Amino acid sequence: MERLKRRIAKLLVSILTLFAFSHPVLAAPIELTLADSISLALKNNKDIKISTLARDKAVWVIKQEEAGKGVSLNLNHSARRSDSAGGDPATNFSNNVSLSVPIYSGGKLESQIDQAKLELKIADLGLDATMQQTKQNVTTYYFNVLQYRNEAQINRETVDNYTAHLKDVQAKYEIGTVAKTDVLASQVSLATAQDDLIKAENNYNVAVATLNNAIGLSLDSELTLKEGLKYEKNSLTLEDCVKYALANHPEIAEYQTKIASAEDDVKIAKSGDKPTVDFAVGQSWYDKDFPGANNSNWQATITASFNLFDSGLNKSRVQQSQYSLATAQEAADQKRDTVLLDVRQYYLSMREAEKRIDTNQVAVNQAQENLKIQEARYSAGVGTNLDVLDAVLHLNQTKINDIQALYDYNTSKAQLDKAMGVPVQ
């Protein structure tokens, strides 16, 4: 009997173990603050990785250009077999070691080095701009999730209000105190609210997937956002924001650096009309026997060259570089104007949303009070069904307006930070 009990117990343990492993444990939702989301995005964003690679490449371009001004040492070895008419075949081996260094390049080499350093600065500024854009994008995506989450919650409350009212109307209809039209109107309002709820829940799911994609998580990851839409006052004036943008926006600085690089292009092109001087020294050996090291001679050479006539080739290069410089200057002015317009637009949008926050909160309180009054009037038989339905709809709209104002304020504030060039911490 004891043996049978032990066998049954083992069988039960096996069944429970198999059941446990055959039902996967659902992963817990990932909790994120806005700072967490930005940190993940900065770590995983492909654009940032590409900009970082471009920056690292620019470092090696500087080394390449600096090497062009340094000493060059070369070793050459050759083996030659020849045969002349009526003669015996001859073998010759030769070796040559040469050292060369540019003495004067008309400013070309110096300008190329300076230009390479400017390209590194441009790459650094481009990386800063990419990081700021990533931060702004993730901030907006984070707020989108909050917005649709709040909107879905408001729509659920609206569905609950319409459902409760429909029950009241049906009860009155059954005892003959209201007409069938009241029931039908209430059902239509409930169906419309349910339709809005379905849309809001779908918008929420899409917003979560978009945020997951931006921060490098699986698209179907469940998220729990630890922060909500809130109002934090921005005390800066428009003038403060404009001054900050002019001094700190990376793209304004990037375009100014591109002007300096274009100026170096002009110097490089003009160097073609200047002489160049190079110095070289060499030692050579030759012999008929390998490795060809018996006979030797050396030579030192200073070579000066000057372009006397090239059918206007270098003049064309100079003209092209000057047009490129003018284009860079126009592009810099255009970027500056665009940045200042963005600053003004997002600042004014932020202030407009700020004003709506207070008025919408008052409207929500008034709408809630109005709904209570209309429900009480309808229950007492002195109000109409339409009054209650309108009150529910009005409360829904005021709540939507309230969270929309908070959303607009926070997103405009994030866009303003980006337009000003506020660095990523």
Does the residue 305 lie in any domain? no
The answer to whether residue 299 sits within a structural domain is no
The answer on pLDDT for 332 being more than 70 is yes
pLDDT tens, residue by residue, 194-215:
999 999 999 999 999 999 999 9
Residue 316 CB neighbour total at 10 angstroms: 12
Confidence of residue 388 (pLDDT cuts 50, 70, 90): very high
What single-letter amino acid sits at 88? D
pLDDT at 243 over 80: yes
- Omega before 291 cis (within 30°)? yes
Q: How far apart are CA 282 and CA 79, in angstroms?
A: 19
Would residue 10 count as lying in a domain? no
Integer-rounded Cα Rg, in Å, for the chain is: 39
Per-residue DSSP letters for 197-265?
HHHHHHHHHHHHHHHHHHHT--TT--EEE------------HHHHHHHHHHH-HHHHHHHHHHHHHHHH
Q: Confidence band (pLDDT; 50, 70, 90) for 358?
A: confident
d(CA 219, CA 207): 10
Q: Is the pLDDT of residue 58 over 80?
A: yes
Identify the weakest region by mean pLDDT among 6-20, 201-215, 400-414.
6-20
CATH of the domain at 382: 1.20.1600.10
pLDDT at 298 exceeding the cut of 90? no
| Domain of 199, in residue numbers | 43-71+103-280+324-420
Of residues 195 and 92, more confidently modeled: 195
Residue 314 lies in a domain: no
Query: Which of 58-67, 83-92, 285-294 shows the highest mean pLDDT?
Result: 58-67
Query: Is residue 316 domain-resident?
Result: no
Which amino acid type is present at position 38?
Answer: I
Is residue 303 in a domain? no
DSSP state of 422: P
pLDDT at 89: 76
Q: What is the structure's pLDDT at 91?
A: 82
Given a cut of 50, whether residue 22 has pLDDT beyond it is no
Chain centroid to CA 140: 12
How many domains does one find in the chain?
Answer: 1
Those residues whose C-beta lies under 8 Å from the C-beta of residue 300, and which sit 6 or more positions away, are 279, 280, 281, 282
Reply yes or no on whether the pLDDT at 19 is more than 50. Answer: no
Output the CA torsion 297→303→308→312 (10° steps): 100
Instruction: Tell whether the model's pLDDT for residue 349 goes beyond 90.
Output: yes
The fraction of the chain above a pLDDT of 90, given in percent, is: 77
Task: Provide the pLDDT confidence category of residue 85 given band limits of 50, 70 and 90.
Answer: low
pLDDT over 90 (residue 285): no
pLDDT in tens, 96-113: 999 999 999 999 999 999
Alpha-helical runs (H) found in 273-384: 313-380
pTM: 0.82
Q: Is residue 35 part of a domain?
A: no
Judged by average pLDDT, the poorest of 7-16, 51-60, 237-246 is 7-16
Give a yes or no: residue 180 inside a domain.
Answer: yes
- 284 forms beta bridges with 96, 297
How confident is residue 261, by pLDDT bands cut at 50, 70 and 90? very high
Residue pair 106/277 in contact (Cβ under 8 Å)? The answer is no
Q: What stretch of H or E contains 128?
A: helix 108-174
List own/partner pairs for 5-14 with CB under 8 A and 24 or more apart. none
The pLDDT-based confidence of 23 (bands split at 50, 70, 90) is very low
How high does pLDDT run on average in the chain?
A: 90
Residue 18: its pLDDT value, please?
47
